[in-house]
């Protein structure tokens, strides 16, 4: 008797500002690197710079979108190796935010094992891009954090 193989679930597409998952723009404070951050976006944008002045300005931005705009405006003053750090920075922030706010962890865990895809048509690094050929790094970050949270749940 042969077993039937179930097809994998459809990918779960989400936007950067979507409330169904852990959005990097969501205003959920968390503490990381001796600072309190209003959102993952605040942390990520501030960490791209060596200057404590820029870090403080971005950290105090009134909204995640403004923190993002400030970080993108100051792109020419970024750390030289920021490209190598960006996924690690994003992963640390998302994980810490989920550990701080159980409702965010629950949202992420509720996606089960579905493949997560940020459906940004203009972002080919964090999202899937218009033609679905983007790297989807934010989706990968979320799946990595989800895996870690799942592992922690089974260990306790």
CATH code reported for the domain at 12-16+27-155: 1.10.357.40
Residue 7: pLDDT band by 50, 70, 90 thresholds?
Answer: very low
pLDDT for position 98: 98
Residue 18: pLDDT band by 50, 70, 90 thresholds?
Answer: low
- Cβ(142)–Cβ(87) under 8 Å? no
Residue 13 has pLDDT above 60, yes or no: yes
Please state, in angstroms and rounded to a whole number, the distance separating the CA atoms of residues 97 and 30.
Answer: 5
54-64 pLDDT, tens digit each: 889 999 999 99
97-106 pLDDT, tens digit each: 999 999 999 9
- Cβ(77)–Cβ(127) under 8 Å? no
Delimit the domains of the chain by residue range.
12-16+27-155
Which position has the higher pLDDT, 73 or 132? 132
pLDDT for position 5: 39
Please state, in angstroms and rounded to a whole number, the distance separating the CA atoms of residues 77 and 74.
Answer: 6
What angle (nearest 5°) sits at the alpha carbon of residue 129, between those of residues 125 and 133? 85
**Whole-model pTM?**
0.89
71-92 pLDDT, tens digit each: 888 766 778 888 899 999 999 9
Residue 25: pLDDT band by 50, 70, 90 thresholds?
Answer: very high
Residue 111: pLDDT band by 50, 70, 90 thresholds?
Answer: very high
pLDDT for position 9: 79
Calculate mean pLDDT across residues 117-143: 96
């Amino acid at each position: 008797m042969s077993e039937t193989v179930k097809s994998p679930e459809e990918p779960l597409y989400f936007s950067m500002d979507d409330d169904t998952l852990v959005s990097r723009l969501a205003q959920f404070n968390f503490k990381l690197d001796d600072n309190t951050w209003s959102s993952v976006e605040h942390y990520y944008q501030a960490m791209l710079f060596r200057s404590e002045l820029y870090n403080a300005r971005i950290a105090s931005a009134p909204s995640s979108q403004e923190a993002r705009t400030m970080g993108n405006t100051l792109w020419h003053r970024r750390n030289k190796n920021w490209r190598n750090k960006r996924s690690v920075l994003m992963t640390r922030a998302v994980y810490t935010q989920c550990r701080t706010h159980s409702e965010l962890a629950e949202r992420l865990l509720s996606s089960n094992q579905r493949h997560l895809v940020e459906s940004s048509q203009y972002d080919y690094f964090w999202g899937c891009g218009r033609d679905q050929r983007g790297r989807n790094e934010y989706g990968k970050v979320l799946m990595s954090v989800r895996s870690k949270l799942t592992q922690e749940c089974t260990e306790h």
